[in-house]
Chain A
Amino acid sequence: MYAFNYHRPKSLADAAKLLGDASDGKFIAGGQTLLPTLKNRLASPSDLVDLTGIAELSGISVSGGIVSIGAITKHGAVATSADIRKAIPALANLAGLIGDPAVRNMGTMGGSVANNDPAADYPSAVLGLNATMHTTKRKIAADSFFTGLFETALEESEIITRIEFPVPKRAGYEKFRNPASRYAMVGVFVAETADGVRVAVTGAGPCVFRHKEMEAALSKSFSPDALKGIRTDPARMNNDIHGSGEYRAHLVGVVAKRAVQNALG
Chain B
Amino acid sequence: MTNQGIGQPVRRKEDFRFITGQGHYTDDINRPGQLYAYFLRSPHAFAKIKSISTDAARKMPGVVAIYTGKDVAADKVGGLICGWTVKDKKGEPHKAPRHDIIAIDHVRHVGDQVAVVIGRSLGEARDAAEAIEVDYDVLTPVVDVVNALKPGAPEVHADAPGNLCYDWDFGDKAATEAAFAKAAHVTKIDLVNNRLSPNPMEPRSAIGEYEPGTDNTTVYTTSQNPHVIRLILCAFVFGLPEHKVRVIAPDVGGGFGSKIFNYAEETVCVWAARKLKKPVKWTSDRTEAFLTDAHGRDHVTHAELAMDKDGKFLGFRVDTKANMGAYLSTFASAVPTYLYALLLAGQYTTPAIYAEVKAVFTNTTPVDAYRGAGRPEATYVVERIVEAAARELKMDPAELRRRNFVPDNAFPYQTPVACVYDSGQYAKALDEALKMADYNGFKQRKAEAAKKGKLRGIGLCAYIEACGIAPSAVVGSLGAGVGLWESAQIRFNATGSVFVHTGSHSHGQGHETTFAQIVSDRLGVPLESVEVVHGDTALVPMGMGTYGSRSLAVGGSAIMRAADKIIDKGKKIAAHLMEASVDDVAYDKGVFSVKGTDKQVPMAQIAFTAYVPHNYPADLEPGLEASAFYDPANFTFPAGVHVAEVEIDSATGVTRVANWVAVDDFGKVINPMIVEGQVHGGIAQGIGQALLEGVVYDPKSGQLLTASFNDYCMPRADDLPSYKVGMIETPCPHNPLGVKGCGEAGAIAAPAALMNAITDALGTEKINMPATPQNVWNVIQSQNLAAAAE
Query: Chain A interface (Cβ within 8 Å of chain B)?
Result: 2, 40-41, 176, 179-181, 183, 241-244, 247, 250-251, 254
Contact present for A254 and B651 (CB under 8 Å):
yes
Contact present for B773 and A179 (CB under 8 Å):
yes
Q: Any chain A CB within 8 A of the CB of B411?
A: no
Q: How far is the CA of A242 from the CA of B754 in the complex (A)?
A: 20
The proximity string for B residues 692-716 relative to A, scoring 1 for CB distances below 8 Å and 0 otherwise, is 1000100000000110011111100
Q: Any chain A CB within 8 A of the CB of B768?
A: no
- B678 to nearest A CB, angstroms? 25
- B701 to nearest A CB, angstroms? 14
Contact present for A241 and B705 (CB under 8 Å):
yes
Q: Chain B interface secondary structure, helix, strand, loop or mixed? A: loop
Q: Any chain A CB within 8 A of the CB of B404?
A: no
- B387 to nearest A CB, angstroms? 25
The proximity string for B residues 615-634 relative to A, scoring 1 for CB distances below 8 Å and 0 otherwise, is 00000000000000000000
Contact present for B652 and A254 (CB under 8 Å):
yes
- B152 to nearest A CB, angstroms? 28
Contact present for A179 and B692 (CB under 8 Å):
yes
Q: Any chain A CB within 8 A of the CB of B777?
A: yes
Within 8 Å CB of B777, what residues of A?
Answer: 247, 250
Within 8 Å CB of A183, what residues of B?
Answer: 710
* Count, A-B residue pairs, CB within 8 A: 38
Within 8 Å CB of A250, what residues of B?
Answer: 777
Contact present for A181 and B711 (CB under 8 Å):
yes
Q: Any chain A CB within 8 A of the CB of B216?
A: no
Contact present for B710 and A244 (CB under 8 Å):
no
The proximity string for B residues 127-152 relative to A, scoring 1 for CB distances below 8 Å and 0 otherwise, is 10000000000000000000000000
Contact present for A247 and B774 (CB under 8 Å):
yes
- A231 to nearest B CB, angstroms? 14
Contact present for A241 and B696 (CB under 8 Å):
yes
Q: Any chain A CB within 8 A of the CB of B778?
A: yes
Q: Chain A interface secondary structure, helix, strand, loop or mixed? A: loop
Contact present for A247 and B709 (CB under 8 Å):
no
Q: Any chain A CB within 8 A of the CB of B34?
A: no
In this complex, which of B287, B773, B774, B777 has the most chain A Cβ atoms within 10 angstroms of its Cβ? B774
The proximity string for B residues 120-131 relative to A, scoring 1 for CB distances below 8 Å and 0 otherwise, is 000000110000
- A208 to nearest B CB, angstroms? 19
Q: How far is the CA of A241 from the CA of B711 in the complex (A)?
A: 8
Q: How far is the CA of A163 from the CA of B709 in the complex (A)?
A: 32
Q: How far is the CA of A2 from the CA of B706 in the complex (A)?
A: 25
Chain B residue nearest in CB terms to A186: B652
Contact present for A180 and B709 (CB under 8 Å):
yes
Q: How far is the CA of A41 from the CA of B285 in the complex (A)?
A: 13
- A189 to nearest B CB, angstroms? 18
Q: Any chain A CB within 8 A of the CB of B497?
A: no
Contact present for B651 and A180 (CB under 8 Å):
no
Interface residues of B in 435-492 (CB under 8 A from A): none
Contact present for A180 and B696 (CB under 8 Å):
no
- A34 to nearest B CB, angstroms? 15
Q: Any chain A CB within 8 A of the CB of B772?
A: yes
Contact present for B711 and A243 (CB under 8 Å):
no
- A262 to nearest B CB, angstroms? 15
Chain B residue nearest in CB terms to A181: B710
Within 8 Å CB of A2, what residues of B?
Answer: 127
Contact present for A179 and B652 (CB under 8 Å):
no
Among B127, B711, B778, which residue has its beta carbon within 8 angstroms of that of A247? B778
Contact present for B705 and A180 (CB under 8 Å):
no
Within 8 Å CB of A247, what residues of B?
Answer: 653, 773-774, 777-778
- B40 to nearest A CB, angstroms? 13
- B231 to nearest A CB, angstroms? 37
Contact present for B652 and A176 (CB under 8 Å):
yes
Chain A residue nearest in CB terms to B786: A250
Chain B residue nearest in CB terms to A255: B652
The proximity string for B residues 707-729 relative to A, scoring 1 for CB distances below 8 Å and 0 otherwise, is 00111111000000000000000
Query: Chain B interface (Cβ within 8 Å of chain A)?
Result: 126-127, 287, 651-653, 692, 696, 705-706, 709-714, 772-774, 777-778
Q: How far is the CA of A40 from the CA of B126 in the complex (A)?
A: 11
Among B126, B712, B778, which residue has its beta carbon within 8 angstroms of that of A180? B712
Within 8 Å CB of A41, what residues of B?
Answer: 126
- A6 to nearest B CB, angstroms? 16
Contact present for A242 and B711 (CB under 8 Å):
yes
Within 8 Å CB of A176, what residues of B?
Answer: 652
Q: A179-B772, A179-B773, A241-B705 are in contact. Are A251 and B713 (CB under 8 A)?
A: no
Q: How far is the CA of A250 from the CA of B772 in the complex (A)?
A: 15
- A204 to nearest B CB, angstroms? 13
Q: How far is the CA of A41 from the CA of B129 in the complex (A)?
A: 13
- A181 to nearest B CB, angstroms? 4
Within 8 Å CB of B773, what residues of A?
Answer: 179, 247
Q: How far is the CA of A233 from the CA of B714 in the complex (A)?
A: 31
Chain B residue nearest in CB terms to A183: B710
Contact present for B709 and A181 (CB under 8 Å):
yes
Among B127, B652, B709, B778, which residue has its beta carbon within 8 angstroms of that of A251? B652
Q: How far is the CA of A244 from the CA of B774 in the complex (A)?
A: 8
Q: A241-B696, A241-B705, A247-B778 are in contact. Are A180 and B711 (CB under 8 A)?
A: yes
List 10 interface pairs A-B (beta carbons < 8 Å), by A numbering. A179-B773, A180-B706, A180-B713, A181-B709, A241-B696, A242-B774, A247-B653, A247-B774, A247-B778, A254-B652
Within 8 Å CB of A180, what residues of B?
Answer: 692, 706, 709-714
Contact present for B652 and A241 (CB under 8 Å):
no
Q: Which 7 A-B pairs have the closest CB atoms?
A: A180-B713, A181-B710, A254-B651, A179-B713, A247-B774, A243-B774, A241-B696
Within 8 Å CB of B652, what residues of A?
Answer: 176, 251, 254
Q: How far is the CA of A211 from the CA of B505 in the complex (A)?
A: 58
Q: How far is the CA of A176 from the CA of B654 in the complex (A)?
A: 10
In this complex, which of A176, A179, A183, A242 has the most chain B Cβ atoms within 10 angstroms of its Cβ? A179
Within 8 Å CB of B696, what residues of A?
Answer: 241
5 more A-B residue pairs beyond the given contacts A241-B696, A247-B777, A254-B652, with a C-beta to C-beta distance below 8 A: A41-B126, A181-B709, A183-B710, A241-B705, A242-B774
Chain A residue nearest in CB terms to B778: A247
Among B287, B651, B772, which residue has its beta carbon within 8 angstroms of that of A242? B772
Chain A residue nearest in CB terms to B693: A180
Chain B residue nearest in CB terms to A182: B716
- B130 to nearest A CB, angstroms? 8
Q: How far is the CA of A179 from the CA of B654 in the complex (A)?
A: 10
Chain A residue nearest in CB terms to B772: A179
Within 8 Å CB of B126, what residues of A?
Answer: 41
Q: How far is the CA of A53 from the CA of B126 in the complex (A)?
A: 32
Chain B residue nearest in CB terms to A244: B774
- A176 to nearest B CB, angstroms? 7
Within 8 Å CB of B706, what residues of A?
Answer: 180, 241
- A20 to nearest B CB, angstroms? 28
- A227 to nearest B CB, angstroms? 12
In this complex, which of B126, B651, B706, B714 has the most chain A Cβ atoms within 10 angstroms of its Cβ? B651
- A253 to nearest B CB, angstroms? 9
Chain B residue nearest in CB terms to A247: B774
Chain A residue nearest in CB terms to B714: A180
Within 8 Å CB of A179, what residues of B?
Answer: 692, 713, 772-773
Q: How far is the CA of A250 from the CA of B653 in the complex (A)?
A: 11
Q: How far is the CA of A250 from the CA of B709 in the complex (A)?
A: 25
Within 8 Å CB of A254, what residues of B?
Answer: 651-652
Chain A residue nearest in CB terms to B652: A254
Q: How far is the CA of A243 from the CA of B652 in the complex (A)?
A: 11
